Amino acid sequence: MKEFDQLPKSIKKAVRYIKQDAPEDQLKLIQKMIENAFEYRDKQTD
C-alpha cells in the first residue's frame, strides 16, 4: 500500500473509480485506453 500512496492523486482516484464505481460497460473502454497509453509510452521510449 505504501507504493500506492506515492502515486499521483489522479491515478489514485482513477484506480478507486475502476474498483468501486465504474459501470461494467465502461470497464472495457477504460482498459483499452490505458493499454493504448502504455503502448504509446513504450514506443516513445524505444
pLDDT tens figures, 27-41: 999 999 999 999 999
Place of cell 505504501: 2
Any idea where the domains of the chain sit in the sequence?
2-45
**30 in Cβ contact with 18 (< 8 Å):** yes
Mean pLDDT, residues 11-40: 96
CB neighbours of residue 14 within 10 Å: 15
pLDDT of residue 1: 73
Q: Is the dihedral of CA 9, 15, 20, 25 positive or negative?
A: positive
Q: Is the pLDDT of residue 45 over 90?
A: no
Q: Angle at the Cα of 40 (from 42 to 31), degrees rounded to 5?
A: 105
User: How many angstroms separate the CA atoms of 36 and 24, rounded?
Assistant: 19
Q: Is the pLDDT of residue 8 over 80?
A: yes
